[in-house]
A and B are shown apart, each in its own frame.
Chain A
Amino acid sequence: MSFTYVLRRVAQSIAALLALMVVVFVLVRATGSPVNLYLPLDAPQALRDEMTIKLGLDQPIYVQFWNWLVDAVQLDLGMSLWQGRPAIDVVLSALPNTLMLGLVVLTISSLLAILIGSLAAFRPNGHFDRFAGLVSLAGASIPDFWLALMGILLFAVTLGWLPTSGSGDIRYWVLPVTVMVMRPLGTLVQVVRGSMISALAAPYVKTARAKGAPERRVIFVHALRNGLLPAITVAGDLAAQLAGGVTVVEVVFGWPGIGKLMIDAILNRDFAVLQAGILCVAAVIVTLNILVDIAYAAIDPRIQIQR
């Protein structure tokens, strides 16, 4: 894999981010009175006029865009009116909490999915496969905010085993992680199962058996290596969704991550933070995409990275 390839992907990603910024810029101004986004709905006109000038919204469009661009490149995404700090700082202090949670959730989902999906693929339509199907159905159907509330009801309020909200030691992680694992697990189990069924039906599996390899090795060495490939792409997509912070879960559990931050920003009508949040999340996602590409190429020797 060449350095030029990575460089090219990075350049593409930056271009995508720029495009996103343009879109945000346009959308905001498309509402007619962008200043309203920064102020409470009942703000007096005088305040609106003052803010309009302060935010430079009275200037010609191209001047606005140029300023916006210059600021953005220097990572100056405006001031958080609500917290009195630069918006980017507010966002960056919340981002790690989300990323940590996302990482733990993704790791647990992936490991469980590999195990359940492989065993389910081994005997399609057998008992384990039905169990796997139920897991996936649950993951695709249970509303996460509701599950979170029921979890709190049962384990925190009724049984008192776990805290109701906040973050801290491992007890604070149990409920949020359990709830957040459901949906990615459901999806990944199906993906792993599907690709493992294909992998297990492939001729090279028969070759491995003909060589006398035990079933365990056939499944987890020969088939899995091939079966994981599609799962990696899907896992990448899921990671992107998790990077945005599973908002409702963060809100219900009071987890101080990006998702909750966005909601609070909305409630406080702080558009600068909202904007900064989107851009940071987008940056994380493009990085993830590049990492997924690299991982894919590392595992499948047939992928030739073109210059």
Chain B
Amino acid sequence: MTSPLMEDAGLLPPSRRISLLRLLARDPSAMVALVWIFVLALVLVANVWFLQAYSVRVDLKLRNAPPFTLDNGWIYYLGADSLGRSMIARLAAAAGPSLGVAFAAVGFSLVCGAILGLVAGWMSGPVGTLILRVADMIQGFPTFLLALVVLYIFGPSVVNLVIVLGITRMPAYVRVARAEVLEIRERLFIDASRVLGASPWWMVRQHVLPIVAPTLLTIASVNLAMVMLIESGLSFIGLGIQPPAASWGLMVAQGRGYLSNAWWLACFPGLAIMFTTIAFNLLSSWFRMATDPQQRWRLEL
């Protein structure tokens, strides 16, 4: 936004502190995204409360019941699947595993990636180079294929799923954390701390983390949507979340065979995935703007 001309005119906006909530309110798309997330939270609660029962209740009379009619009661407003189970209930039941895996994987890659990056940057000898090279290799390889092969070798349990998804996303965090550490290591205040007898861990916590944290969190927010898409793809293939647990991706796969006569079986779970990933993406854009001093003014206007 600044051009040399404007600098000549003395134009440098002052920074101001505005509460996070108000920044959020200035961005309408982020607000919409937040509403959806809130809806999902409600759905999760409803699931635990009473919807769970409906998601396993088989009613063959209502097999492939069509949506958008209240004839069978509100619980069947989005139709029923091939076993007569309420779509609303099943979507709700699948929300938990889908979201849970996404958050767990992102959390895992954030924490481990940050630690590995910090280590790689601090001990920039052969250890550091090795970590970096491995990260490069993982990043260069097609994510889905990598996940496929590893899950085949080790079996598609939820834990393996989370670990694999986490590992494929880790290199970005490793890179960023390492770059920050390398840059900060050379600065004078680190030498000052070292002279005062501070341990490396203390220096990292005090100096490096506060600077690195916003960037890492931005990457994490972007990754949420990506991981959800990968997980749903894997579940669709059959190597993700396994039945009897539910996942939106799995539901799409189950609906695939009924495409011509019961399109809602495959359509609605996909919409659920899409709305959620859109929400995550919008929130991460907002977050990126809010934490970037150069762009923040758009939200402060």
A→B interface (CB under 8 Å)? 16, 19-20, 27-28, 31, 37, 137, 140-147, 149-150, 152-153, 157, 201, 203, 237, 240-241, 243-248, 251-252, 259, 262-263, 266, 271, 274, 277-278, 281-282, 285, 289
Distance, CA A143 to CA B154, complexed state (A) = 26
Q: In the assembled complex, how far is the CB of residue B119 from the closest CB belonging to chain A, in whole angstroms?
A: 20
Q: Which of B153, B233, B277 contacts A28 (CB 8 A)?
A: B153
Taking chain A's interface residues, is the majority helix, strand, or loop, or is none over half, making it mixed? Answer: helix
Among B8-16, B67-75, B137-145, B196-204, the stretch in contact with A: B137-145
B37 at interface (Cβ–Cβ under 8 A)? Answer: no
Given A143-B273, A150-B267, A152-B259, is A247 in contact with B233 using a C-beta cutoff of 8 Å?
yes
Residues of A within 8 A of B282 (CB): 137
Contact with A along B195-231 (1 / 0, CB 8 A): 0000000000000000000000000000001100100
B270 at interface (Cβ–Cβ under 8 A)? Answer: yes
Cβ B141 vs Cβ A244 within 8 A:
yes
List 4 additional contacts besides A244-B144, A246-B144; criterion CB under 8 Å: A28-B153, A245-B142, A251-B237, A262-B149
Residues of A within 8 A of B143 (CB): 241
Tally of B interface residues using CB under 8 Å: 39
Cβ B153 vs Cβ A145 within 8 A:
no
Q: In the assembled complex, how far is the CB of residue A131 from the closest CB belonging to chain B, in whole angstroms?
A: 14
B176 at interface (Cβ–Cβ under 8 A)? Answer: no
B150 at interface (Cβ–Cβ under 8 A)? Answer: yes
Cβ A278 vs Cβ B273 within 8 A:
no
Distance, CA A259 to CA B146, complexed state (A) = 11
Q: Which of B145, B148, B232, B274 has the most CB of A within 10 A?
A: B145
Distance, CA A263 to CA B253, complexed state (A) = 14
Cβ B270 vs Cβ A281 within 8 A:
no
B49 at interface (Cβ–Cβ under 8 A)? Answer: no
Given A137-B278, A137-B281, A149-B266, is A144 in contact with B233 using a C-beta cutoff of 8 Å?
yes
Cβ A262 vs Cβ B233 within 8 A:
no
Q: In the assembled complex, how far is the CB of residue B270 from the closest CB belonging to chain A, in whole angstroms?
A: 3
Cβ B145 vs Cβ A278 within 8 A:
yes
Residues of A within 8 A of B236 (CB): 145, 248
